[in-house]
Amino acid sequence: ASVLGLSVSDAVKQMRGKPGEAVTLTIAREKTDPFDVKLVREIIKTKSATAKAIGDYGYLRVSAFNEKTTDEAEAAIADVRAKNPKIKGWILDLRNNPGGLLDQAVSISDLFLDGGEIVSQRGRDPRDVERYNARPGDAIGGQPLVVLINSGSASAAEIVAGALQDRKRAELVGLTSFGKGSVQTVIPLRGGMDGALKLTTARYYTPSGRSIQKTGIQPDLEVAETREDAQQIANRSFQFSEASFTNALNAEEGKARVGAHQPAEAPPEGFDVKTGDFQLTRAEDVLKAGSVAATPKMPKPAARLAEVIGPKVPKIEPAAPVKK
């Protein structure tokens, strides 16, 4: 059966089946004849946390926060440290991490903190505050840590990035995060007989008292992934954030998300963004230098600021008189 024109979910329905059964897919690509690929169906168990060594440094990728994230992260870190005892520092990659469970955001932060506050959630009543604290023990023994974030880092990912930044445990490289700093509570109606009501009841605050909502977490070293991203940040077409929703819950009074501006860094001419990861490269540079302040800065990209250029307003000619 053809999947041409079908949505992804409808196409997937046609491919799904019992584990162990085979399915043959016919794939058609430009400039090549269609070809068959035979696959055996199985239950795919994805890991939300994986780690590896990159040169002198450990790299921990956390793609989401589910029930197993912290356990997977701990095991992955321990495995890399056992195989590479000379590792000098770590990179925690939270880019495009949409968030997930609060308790896992707290426990992932706790892996790198030796105590103190991680996050608080505060409701409308000033007395309605819940604080979450770290326990003693650091999974990487206090080694240097850099966190990668971008506009796709949201919610639980922002809690981790904000906690590690505020507590001076890590420096952040990348782009300002999404800005999803609101807390929702599900309230059953008639014990669930009439469904439930989901209400926004609180905001998340980092240890220094910053609200994540709308404004997001700003990196210590702003680095665009591509030159195109740098231009989009400059002309405000980079609108993938909580602030782009017209009815989004406001941030704290007097605080606004950073507007159009010249991003600090972008890949230089000659850097192949298809094979290289410029944000990751700069995270490694920060670890090598010891801090963002000590890291030699790259020349700023020649992005044209939309605010400087000004919007193009169409010229409206006066209507010609109607001939009677």
Residue from 93, 166, 229, 285 carrying the catalytic annotation: 166
Show Cβ contacts of residue 145 under 8 Å, excluding neighbours closer than 6 positions: 89, 90, 91, 92, 112, 164, 169, 170
* Nearest-10 crossing angle of helices 102-112, 69-83: 20
Examine the residue annotation and report whether 110 is marked as an active-site residue of this protein: no
The two beta strands, 171-174 and 221-222, are parallel
Is 177 among the residues known to form the active site? no
| SS (HEC) of the chain | CCCCCCCHHHHHHHHCCCCCCEEEEEECCCCCCCEEEEEECCCCCCCCEEEEEECCEEEEEECCECCCHHHHHHHHHHHHHHHCCCCCEEEEECCCCCCECHHHHHHHHHHHCCCEEEEEEECCCCCCEEEEEECCCCCCCCCCEEEEECCCCCCHHHHHHHHHHHCCCCEEEECCCCCCCEEEEEEECHHHCCCEEEEEEEEEECCCCCECCCCCCCCCEEECCCHHHHHHHHHCCCCCCHHHCCCCCCCCCCCCCCCCCCCCECCCCCCCCCCCCHHHHHHHHHHHHCCCCCCCCCCCCCCCCHHHHCCCCCCCCCCCCCCC
166 flagged as catalytic: yes
Structure tokens at 203: 């905001």
Dist CA 241 CA 228 (whole Å): 17
Instruction: State the catalytic residue, choosing from 155, 182, 211, 241.
Output: 155
Catalytic one of 110, 151, 180, 229 = 180
Catalytic residue numbers, as ranges: 155, 166, 180
